[in-house]
Amino acid sequence: MKERSKGFVREEIKRIDEQLQRNLSLRSMQKQKLDDKGMQKQQNLDDKEKKKVRFTEKQDWEIDPSKLIIKQVIAPGAFGTVHRGIYDGQDVAVKVLEEQRAKGDIASLRIAFTREVSIWPKLDHPNIAKCLGATLGTSALKFHTHNKQIDMQSDAATSASVIIEYLPCGTLTSYLRKNRKRKLAFKTVVRMALDLARGLSYLHSRKIVHRDVKTENLLLDKNHTLKIIDFDVACLEASNPNEMTARLGTLGYMAPEVLESKPYDRKCDVYSFGICLWEIYCCDVAPYPNVILSDRSSTVVYQNIIPEIPKCCPSSLAEIMRKCWDANPNNRPEMEEVVIMLKAIDTSKGKGMKTSYGPLGCLLFCR
């Protein structure tokens, strides 16, 4: 009887041991599954982090924000302000873009910023303002006001900035207004026109269309060398002209085909150049003085009206204006040709705009 009891106990212990082993094995398997899930979860997090790093890794145009000091405001803007600043010891102008000012147009602001930084920093020409780079709002920006430093924490959702060389003589618009009464010497007119023509010729040689050529987007350095700025609506010229139909630019400078949302190419810049040339010679910034702003679009397109060329304007310069304003874009000269025509002008024989010349009007443009 005792032997039977001992045998029963041994069998029972063996059964319990086997059950414990099975439970341990099951727990081990469950633990392994949990570990595997944890590792997979961690791997997924790592992959997401890698993607995040790839998305935020430094771009070619990004500058070191720790070297940038932003000073006083020098000009207001639609989506921000332009400040005087210092970058790595160099005088610069800083265009600070703030999305909160864009209100419902944040998408357009981001597109404009992306377009500008993808084109401008790569350009290198004496008549293109040098863009040193840009910053996204991912680090603190240093603002100095009244000898005090303010570290403004910025993030990508709120702001960005574009840094260009500082050009002390301001816009061509303000320069023309200052000289409106005394006018410019003919030699100065041709020199400035050449600066603009060379800058645009360079852009077109790189298949870039500016699309907003106007005196407000032209700055002067200390030697009064003219330089083109602002590439937020610039684009690479489409191989298919039908792809470029966006109605972009500034009224008064826009070519008829742009105003009508028809397909266009780099020749729209040539038309705008012709308006700027008129303004430089006349030392005026209102090529349509008798037409209110809201009516300029229909006036240029449907009434075929162009600015009146003063009788005192040398024929060589007047001819360039007329060619640039041709209603048919294909008949307008290339900017490279305009450079050649301007260089051929004998500035010793031509005369500048007369100070006594009366109010200017508009002329019908004959197709």
Active site residue 195: no
C-alpha to C-alpha distance for 192 and 169, rounded to whole angstroms: 14
217: tokens are: 């987007």
Q: What angle do helix axes 186-205 and 335-343 make, rounded to 10 degrees?
A: 150
Is residue 365 within 8 A of residue 304, CB to CB? The reply is: yes
Q: Which of 17, 36, 212, 284 is catalytic?
A: 212
C-alpha to C-alpha distance for 278 and 162, rounded to whole angstroms: 31
60: tokens are: 């070619």
Cα 35 from chain centroid (whole Å):
51
Catalytic site positions: 212
